[in-house]
Amino acid sequence: MSRARATAIGFLAVLLWASLALATVATGAAPPFQLTAMCFFIGGLLGLADMARRGASARTMLRQPWRVWALGVGGLFGYHFLYFTALRGAPAAQASLIAYLWPLLIVLFSGLLPGERLRWPHVAGALAAFAGAALILAPGAGGVDRAHWPGFAAAAGCALTWSGYSVLSRRVGSAPTDAVAGFCLVTAALSALCHLALETTVWPADARGWLAVLALGLGPVGAAFYFWDIGVKRGDIQLLGVAAYAAPLLSTLALIATGIAAPSPGLLGAAALIAGGAALAALGGRKRAG
């Protein structure tokens, strides 16, 4: 598979993640760990079904070194556990913005990978895109309350966890993408345990809610992780890191288009910063190829 094709597949994950907020709203009042458990279970079954379609054995998925399992489960479950912890302990807008440092960290950390070289367009593009995401995620955020520090620390842990998972996945590039199905199923089980310990079960109220859960499990909490695995292992990881900032922009546009959210004055500026940042990162990728 070519680097350009793998990068394009990785960007499909970003497009799917852009639908996360819209689909989550449609699921109703299901608490976060319960919803995570249901969706990752569907995502894991999706991977198993694809292996069955191709005639591949599930043993291929299971026969991985413990380091691969630790990385995969730590990335998927660790990120979501820390993210929900952050939202419980700090204002959602500020916590989300801190958590969304992960694309910038991917760009910076990728310079440590064999065969990768960090160039100034990558860094400048990532910073510009982060500024655009800041306009969307935390417009007019106020001061910081010391009581929220644990939540902010968890949000920073989110950023480190997902960026670390994404970059280190390149170091275990020999592990098949099929293994992601196993990561999803273990994440579903751990999320179910957290749900039982911390939450009250609330099932979707109607068929629309159940369809939204199914859509989440097949898309942004399912296929997206398989696409992302291909992208970060074989594609331009620096360009993917910057392009990931398109997710909050596209998510906001989807919410506006469906009437769930109202347009904000900073949206145009955010779009320009994110698009400009991606263009800068692409320029860095062309220089590398040259």
Q: Give the DSSP per-residue string, the chain.
A: --HHHHHHHHHHHHHHHTTHHHHHHHT-S--HHHHHHHHHHHHHHHHHHHHHHHT--HHHHH---HHHHHHHHHHHHHHHHHHHHHHHHS-HHHHHHHHTTHHHHHHHHHTTSTT----HHHHHHHHHHHHHHHHHHSTT-----GGGHHHHHHHHHHHHHHHHHHHHHHHTTTS-TTHHHHHHHHHHHHHHHHHHHH------SSHHHHHHHHHHHHIIIIIHHHHHHHHHHHS-HHHHHHHTTHHHHHHHHHHHHTTSS---TTHHHHHHHHHHHHHHHHHHHHHHH-
Residue-wise pLDDT tens for the chain (290 aa)?
899 999 999 999 999 998 887 888 888 888 999 999 999 999 999 999 999 999 988 887 778 999 999 999 999 999 999 998 888 888 777 788 788 888 888 888 887 777 777 777 778 888 887 887 777 666 665 555 677 888 889 988 999 999 999 999 988 878 899 999 999 999 999 999 999 999 999 999 899 999 999 999 999 999 999 999 999 999 988 889 888 888 877 877 787 787 776 777 776 777 778 777 777 777 665 555 54
Q: What is the pLDDT of residue 100?
A: 83
